[in-house]
Amino acid sequence: MKNTYSKDIKQWAKELGFSYCGISKAEKLEDDARRLEQWLQKGMQAKMNYMENYFDMRVDPTRLVPGARSVITLLLNYYPEIKQNPNSPAIAKYAYGKDYHLVIREKLNDLLRRIKDKIGDTESRGFVDSAPVLERSWAVRSGLGWIGKNGNMITRQSGSFFFIATLITDLALEYDDPFAKDYCGTCTKCIDACPTEAILPSKVVDGSKCISYFTIELKDALLPETLKGQFENWIFGCDTCQDVCPWNRFSSPTKEGSLQALPEILNFTRDDWENLTEEGFKKIFRDSPLKRTKYQGIKRNLTFQYH
């Protein structure tokens, strides 16, 4: 019966708009545990202290869902059909439309409902950046792609502009073969292009140097003056390493309507951003990922970039 369930779940995922679905065995991620521990010991999480929490849960899905036997990994394409005006202050493409947490959470809930209705009661939980889950590792184990030098999960068919969601369940399912090959080869375009040299050899990204960290995660009132002039045009996130990746020439526009770009994201000039009031920000970006850095964060980033 587990074979039938696996095919059903993949079909339901497709019907809900997910781009890919893979399934792997729920087990402790021993190699990832060692790599994560080393990364944390080197302080590459900077002030993202939450990365240090719930270590055991991050590397063992049975700590999140007791009795877990399968990890279902789902990808949702967010590559935009229309790009920003190149003269506009740059926003990472994942933030062009509606907050992906809201979009994917709804899809995961629909998938869980189908599983319950068609298969029966299970102990299952869906996650999208909402718990300590190593999504990219599970994506590789589920046969969806490999981890690139820039730390992103890359697919041969469509590149890396994907959100990753995870569903951990006590259902016994048929497992996909892990993705065994690394197709980055000798290419170092992402390493060479990174404005702050945050991408290190051996597929290590130093979070304490990443533009996305500074423009989104860091809550300090001021950004380090030593990095002045290194952020190119980015005021929220950074796509440089993905934009130069040869595999992203295969990216195709998302079909998810809620991820379509807000007109303001595409067209706001520097003056538009600088003249934006907090009330206007809250109104325009009420369902946007930009809420994460808040109005004050956007203003800080603008000041750092242009003054």
Q: How far apart are CA 139 and CA 136, in angstroms?
A: 5
The whole-angstrom distance between residue 86's C-alpha and the CA centroid of its chain comes to 23
Helix (H, G, I), strand (E, B), or coil: what is residue 126? strand
Q: How far apart are CA 84 and CA 44, in angstroms?
A: 31
List 261's β-bridge partners, or say none.
Answer: none
Q: Is 177 a catalytic residue?
A: no
Q: How far apart are CA 160 and CA 152, in angstroms?
A: 7
In this structure, the chain runs to a length of 307
List 146's β-bridge partners, or say none.
Answer: 154
Contacts of 10 (CB under 8 A, 6+ apart): 21, 23
Q: How far apart are CA 33 and CA 35, in angstroms?
A: 6
8 A C-beta contact, residue 16 and residue 107: yes
Single out the catalytic residue among 129, 192, 220, 272.
129
* CA-closest candidate to residue 136, choices 75, 221, 211, 183: 75
Q: How far apart are CA 94 and CA 45, in angstroms?
A: 21
Q: How far apart are CA 55 and CA 76, in angstroms?
A: 26
Q: Which long-range contacts (CB under 8 A, 24 or more apart) does 29-37 make?
A: 29/59, 29/60, 29/134, 29/137, 30/59, 32/59, 32/134, 32/137, 33/58, 33/59, 36/134
Alpha-carbon torsion angle 130, 251, 138, 102, nearest 10: 20
* CA-closest candidate to residue 39, choices 56, 53, 52, 57: 52
Catalytic amino acids? 129
